[in-house]
């Protein structure tokens, strides 16, 4: 598999889309039930194909990603040619960016010596969608890019 199978919860959320996917292959609900029982390996393959299609669609639309931990903030913008990174590292271990208090501290102390701000650009590998997927696998979440644009104005 190029990506990974959707979780049970994700598949349940996409129940109607999965039904439509099966319908495009002329598989009825009764046939699907039969496939799950009689040919579980075929059912697994169908779930994998559906998962790949969903991931492909999502990853093509991703423009911004964020990965926030206690002392780090990684903001990504995915452009046609590259991934742009704005990173922030807090040297004060008492600050936790995953809390409201920590984030408020950052807002008020952005120019403090214990805050390191950096940026970089990286060309994609052979497959930009895999690069985006790997960021998600490492903990990044898809966002609207408000934080990226804010910090981009600061480091621009």
What is the rounded distance in angstroms from the CA atom of residue 33 to the CA atom of residue 46?
A: 13
Q: Please determine, for residue 89, whether its predicted confidence score (pLDDT) is greater than 70.
A: yes
Please give the pLDDT value at position 156. Answer: 67
Treating both helix axes as pointing N-terminal to C-terminal, what angle do 40-61 and 128-137 enclose, rounded to 10 degrees? 100
Q: Compute the average pLDDT of residues 57-69.
A: 96
Please give the pLDDT value at position 32. Answer: 93
Q: CA angle at residue 71 from 132 to 73, to 5 degrees?
A: 35
Which own/partner pairs from 112-118 qualify as long-range (CB within 8 Å, at least 24 positions apart)?
114/90, 115/88, 115/89, 115/90, 115/91, 116/88, 116/89, 116/90, 116/91, 117/86, 117/87, 117/88, 117/151, 117/154, 117/155, 118/86, 118/87, 118/88, 118/89, 118/155
Q: Compute the average pLDDT of residues 128-152.
A: 95
Please give the pLDDT value at position 154. Answer: 81
Q: Compute the average pLDDT of residues 82-103.
A: 95
Q: What percent of the chain has pLDDT over 70?
A: 99
Please give the pLDDT value at position 114. Answer: 94
> Phi then psi for 65, rounded to 5 degrees?
-135, 150
Q: Compute the average pLDDT of residues 73-85.
A: 96
Query: Could you tell me how many residues make up the chain?
Result: 156
Q: Compute the average pLDDT of residues 102-131.
A: 93
């Amino acid at each position: 598999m190029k990506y990974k199978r959707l979780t049970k919860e994700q598949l349940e959320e996409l129940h109607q889309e999965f039904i439509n996917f099966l319908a495009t292959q002329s598989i009825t609900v009764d046939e699907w039930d039969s496939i799950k029982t009689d040919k579980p390996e075929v059912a697994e393959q169908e779930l994998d194909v559906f998962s790949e299609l969903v991931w492909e669609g999502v990853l093509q639309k991703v423009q911004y990603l964020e990965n926030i931990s206690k002392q780090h903030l990684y903001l990504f913008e995915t452009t046609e040619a590259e991934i742009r990174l704005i990173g922030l590292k807090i040297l004060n271990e008492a600050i936790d960016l995953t809390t409201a208090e920590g984030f408020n501290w950052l807002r008020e102390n952005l120019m403090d010596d214990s805050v390191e701000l950096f940026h970089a650009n990286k060309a994609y590998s052979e497959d930009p969608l895999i690069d985006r997927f790997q960021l998600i696998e490492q903990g990044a979440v898809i966002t609207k890019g408000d934080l990226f644009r804010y910090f981009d104005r600061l480091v621009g």
